[in-house]
Amino acid sequence: MIAALRSGVAGGRLSGLLLVALPVALLIWLVLWPVLQAIVGTVYFPGTGFSTASYAYFFTDAYSLRNLWLTLWVTALTSVLRVAVAMPIALYLRFRSGPVAALVQALALFPMFVPSVLVAYAFIRVLGPNGIVDTILVALHLPKLASPYLTPAGPIIGLVWDGLPLTLLLLLSGLGRVSIASVDAARDLGAGSFTLFTRIILPRIQSSIIVTLAFNVLGLFSAFTLPFLLGPASPEMMGPYMQRTFSDNADPLNATTQAVITFAFCAAFGLIYVRAIAKGRKAPA
């Protein structure tokens, strides 16, 4: 670092490369190389040559397909629910200030500080069998509800809860681009709330919504902890399925095949997300 300063910009070339060398090497060794290895290693086998047998197995195996289907719809529904829940809060926070708004924001961001293992534990105490919701229902002489614990609804509720803060922050930063003046102007001309939202606000935050959805899909598609602890054992989401294939069945080939399939399904979203961040945050000139 010091040598770089002394040698000025021109001489900093080598020092710069040296300073970033270690993290870059780690990135290549533990991210890019494994991805490449996973893709190549599932289709090319030294000695026997090319084979797509593990993919053929996945796409003909009824259980694998059921897991994939569950993952797809849980991911889609959860992403949409997160945006649907966060959007009204984001709109409110964008156009309101004051102590109540500050409290609303603090509460909505709170799950950011609760690790997902703890979310799972708290969830079971609330919505699990004989949880506090059941307790309250019984106290009110109402019938118990079917518990979402160990059904697909379990991870969905848990994941919406867990993902609310980041979804909200992403939408809020998008809404920052909507000027209050334009909203006021439209309102003066007699636009109702719905028109205001669909004609003025939505077009301006379209890209933010797409980025938010992409970010959510990436996180949800291979979510592990919450689906494992709160979801059904069969069919299971791709995260728990990969873990079981790798650890319990000691079958790295099929686990890696499943991983590559999740990469493929998420590739488009990964691209959208990474391009959006790269655009917003180039290294300084």
Partner 1 sequence: MTDLATLPPSGALQAQQKRVRRRAPVDWTGFAFLIGLAVVILLPLVVTAVWAFAEVWRFPAILPQRVGLGYWQETLSRQDVWQALWLSLRITTTVTVISAVICFPAAYAFARLDFPGRNMLFLAFLSVQAFPKFGLIIATATIFLTLNLIGTFWGVVLIQLVGTLLYMIWIPVSAFQGVDRRLEEAARDVGAGPMRVFWSITLPQALPTLAAAILITFVNTFYETDAAWLIGLPNVRTMPMVMIAFINNALEVQYGAVLFVFLWVPSFLLMLAARRVMGADAFAKGLGG
Please report, as residue ranges, which positions from 214 to 253 form the binding site for partner 1 (by CB under 8 A).
Answer: 215, 218-219, 221-225, 229, 238-239, 242-243, 246-247, 252
The gap from C-alpha 70 to its chain's centroid, in whole angstroms, comes to 16
Alpha carbon distance 270, 285 (integer Å): 25
Contact status: 57 vs partner 1 (CB under 8 A): no
The span of 44-52, 87-95, 183-191, 195-203 binding partner 1 (CB under 8 A) equals 87-95
Considering only 87, 119, 156, 159, the residue that binds partner 1 (CB under 8 A) is 119
Contact status: 134 vs partner 1 (CB under 8 A): yes
User: What are the structure tokens assigned to 106, written together?
Assistant: 């603090």
Minimum distance from residue 238 beta carbon to partner 1 (Å): 8
- Find the binding residues for partner 1 in span 163-222 (CB under 8 A): 166, 169-170, 172-174, 208, 211, 215, 218-219, 221-222
Alpha carbon distance 260, 39 (integer Å): 6
Alpha carbon distance 224, 262 (integer Å): 13
Contact status: 56 vs partner 1 (CB under 8 A): no
User: What are the structure tokens assigned to 281, written together?
Assistant: 């945050």
Minimum distance from residue 144 beta carbon to partner 1 (Å): 9
For 45, list phi and psi in degrees, rounded to 5.
-120, 120
Contact status: 255 vs partner 1 (CB under 8 A): yes
Considering only 92, 147, 183, 232, the residue that binds partner 1 (CB under 8 A) is 92
Contact status: 149 vs partner 1 (CB under 8 A): no
Distances (CA, A) of 184 to 29, 172, 181, 208: 53, 18, 5, 22
For 167, list phi and psi in degrees, rounded to 5.
-60, -45
Contact status: 41 vs partner 1 (CB under 8 A): yes
Contact status: 138 vs partner 1 (CB under 8 A): yes
Contact status: 274 vs partner 1 (CB under 8 A): yes
The span of 56-64, 93-101, 185-193, 195-203 binding partner 1 (CB under 8 A) equals 93-101
What stretches of the chain show up as alpha helix (H) in DSSP?
A: 2-27, 33-41, 53-60, 62-95, 99-109, 116-127, 132-139, 153-175, 180-188, 193-195, 202-221, 225-230, 238-243, 252-280
Minimum distance from residue 188 beta carbon to partner 1 (Å): 18
